[in-house]
Amino acid sequence: MASFARQFLRSLLNVKNVLAGRRSLRENAMRKSAVVPVRTPVGVHSRPGFLQRLRTGQLTKRQLGVLLCLPALLLIVFVVGYPLVYSIYITFHEMNFARAGLGPRFVGLDNYARVFDRADFWKAFLRSGLFVVYDLFVGMPLGLAVAILLNQRFWLRGVARATILLPYVLAGTVLGLIWKWIYHPNHGALNALLYQLGIIPEYVAWLAEPLRALHLVILVNLWQGTPWAIIMYLAGLQTIPQELYDAAKVDGASSWQALFRITLPLLAPITLAMLVLKTVWTFQVFDIVWVLTRGGPASATQVVSYYIYYASFFQLKFGYAAAMSYVLLGIVLVLVIIYYRLIRHEVEY
C-alpha cells in the first residue's frame, strides 16, 4: 500500500512538471512574437496636431474657446484695428482728396506741429475743458446730493429712481431737438414760461449771444449726464453697510461728519471711475452741439470734437484732424493719470 502511494505521488509530480514546462514554452513563444514599441526620439511630440484633433473632435476646452472666439476677434481687428492703424498713418501724410490722383504726401510731423501752432484748436479745447469742469464740479456733486435723497425711504421712490434716468437714456440727437424747441426764440417753452411769469419783458433769442449760448449748451450736457452720476452714486450708497452709520451715530457723529468720514471715503472708487469716464465722454460731446448751434454763434460753442469733425469733412484736412485726435488722446491720458494719483484709495470696511 505504501509503495502504491509513493508511485501515485511521483506520477502527480511528473504531470505538474510537464504542465509547467508547456506553460513556460508558450510564454517564451508569445514574448518572442510580441511587437517591440518604437521609442519616440527626444524633442519629437507624439500627440496629434491641431488640425488632426479638430477633425477628430479632440480639442481641449481652451482650444475650442479660442476657435469659437476667432470670428469675433477677426471682426474686431478688421473694424477697429485697421482704422486705428490707418488713422496713425494719415497723421504723417497730407491727404489730397481734392486731387485724388496725387495720392497722400508724406509730411512727417508737420500735422502735429500745426496742432500746437493753431490757436483754433486750443480755443476749442478750452471750451471742451469748460464742459468738463461743469460736469465734474457741478454735475457730480449734484448727482451725489440727489442720490442721497433717493437712497432714503419715501413714497414712490421706485418711480422717482426710474424717472431720473430718462434724460440719460435719450439719444443725444433727440435730446438736442427737445432743447432746441425749448430755446426757440419765437415758440420756445422757456420764453413762454419766463414771459408769463413777468421775468422777461419780451422773447429772447437764447442761442444768439455767444457766451450765453455756450452756457446753455453746457446746461443741456449737464441735464443729460447728471442722471448717470446719480445712478452710480446710488448704487455705491447701497453697498455701504448701515452698521457703520449706526456706530457713528452712537459715537455722537453728526450727519455731515458721517458724510465726510464714511460716505465720501467709501465712494472714492466710484468717484475715480466717474472722473475718468466723464472726462473722456465730455471731451467727445458732439451731437448736442451739432443739433443746437452747429458750433455757433461765432464759433462760441465749437468744442474740440466738433472742430475735428469740421476740419475733416468740411476742410478735408484729414491728416491734421487725425493729429488733433491723437493730441487730444494724449491730454486725456495725462488727466486720467493725474486723477488716479490723486484719488487712489483702498476701501476697507
Cis peptide bond N-terminal to 48, omega within 30: no
Question: What CA–CA distance (Å, rounded) separates 218 from 134?
Answer: 8
pTM: 0.78
H or E element in which residue 13 lies: helix 2-33
Domain with CATH 1.10.3720.10 in the chain: 110-343
Residue range 110-343, CATH number: 1.10.3720.10
Question: What CA–CA distance (Å, rounded) separates 292 from 148?
Answer: 33
287 contacts: CB under 8 Å, gap ≥ 6: 171, 172, 173, 175, 176
Question: What CA–CA distance (Å, rounded) separates 26 from 20?
Answer: 10
One pLDDT digit (tens) per residue for the chain, 349 residues: 545 455 555 655 555 555 555 566 556 655 555 444 445 454 445 566 666 666 666 677 787 788 888 899 899 888 888 889 999 999 999 887 766 667 788 998 999 999 999 999 999 999 999 999 999 999 999 999 999 999 888 888 889 888 888 899 888 899 999 999 999 999 899 999 999 999 999 999 999 999 999 999 999 999 999 999 999 999 999 999 989 988 988 988 888 999 999 999 999 989 999 999 999 999 999 999 999 999 989 899 999 999 999 999 998 889 999 999 999 999 999 999 998 888 765 555 4
Scanning the structure block, which residue is given the C-alpha cell 467727445? Answer: 284
Residue type, 349: Y
Alpha carbon 163 to its chain centroid, in Å, reads 25
H or E element in which residue 93 lies: strand 93-94
